[in-house]
Chain A
Amino acid sequence: DTEVTQTPKHLVMGMTNKKSLKCEQHMGHRAMYWYKQKAKKPPELMFVYSYEKLSINESVPSRFSPECPNSSLLNLHLHALQPEDSALYLCASSQDRVNTEAFFGQGTRLTVV
């Protein structure tokens, strides 16, 4: 089973709202990732968790706050976003930090109004 599940599939939020994106995998993977993808652009890495610890933060603004409650779950907390943050947010997982063959979830389409 190579499934990564993301919820919700679509999200519309105002600039003053607080919302969270959720990601779950049951492949026993120990590395999990958040990517942001704008139209006609490649995925852009935001955060990497390795064994539930944040290992890479690609200088992402603090209005994005990641959380890894356990080895299967990854959250992205959103607060005070801007319209330019509208994008497809992708979660991925890989076996570990050395084996980076990553499997993506179906993504959350975020629109900030």
Chain B
Amino acid sequence: QKEVEQNSGPLSVPEGAIASLNCTYSDRGSQSFFWYRQYSGKSPELIMSIYSNGDKEDGRFTAQLNKASQYVSLLIRDSQPSDSATYLCAVNVYGYQKVTFGTGTKLQVIP
């Protein structure tokens, strides 16, 4: 069983729509959750961190965490072509330094 699972996509959405990216994890001890954006050939860029159940908003991005159901999601409102990238979900168990990455979801925003 994979520790962090994401749909590899590609997820295609029209420009201006809401893109919804999902991630599930297996370790109930997980405490820290991160979303990274990675453009092709570039390094991962941290866009959101979430630690508590509920929603966390930052500009056009909203991270949602549900520890009971063991999933974390990222919503991108008013999607732009520049949002086209691979989005990596990363999870960390408290006190353990290793962050586990999902395989990433490729997002394509169609103009």
Is the pair B92, A100 in contact by a Cβ cutoff of 8 Å? yes
- Given A42-B88, A42-B103, A101-B32; A50-B97 close (CB under 8 Å): yes
The reply to whether B101 and A55 form a contact with Cβ atoms under 8 Å apart is no
Interface of A is mostly: loop
- Distance between Cα atoms of A106 and B39 in the complex (Å): 11
Q: How far is the CB of B85 from chain A (nearest CB, A)?
A: 13
Q: Does B103 lie within 8 Å of A97, measured CB to CB?
A: no
How many residues belonging to B are interface residues under a CB distance threshold of 8 Å?
A: 20
Question: Is A14 an interface residue when CB atoms closer than 8 A count as contact?
Answer: no
B residues near A100, Cβ cutoff 8 Å: 32, 92, 97, 99
- In the complex, what distance in Å separates the CA atom of A98 from the CA atom of B95? 5
Asked whether B34 lies within 8 Å of A101 as measured between CB atoms, the reply is yes
Name the interface residues of B6-43: CB closer than 8 Å to any CB of A: 32, 34, 36, 42-43
**With A31-B97, A56-B97 given, is the CB distance from A43 to B32 under 8 Å?**
no
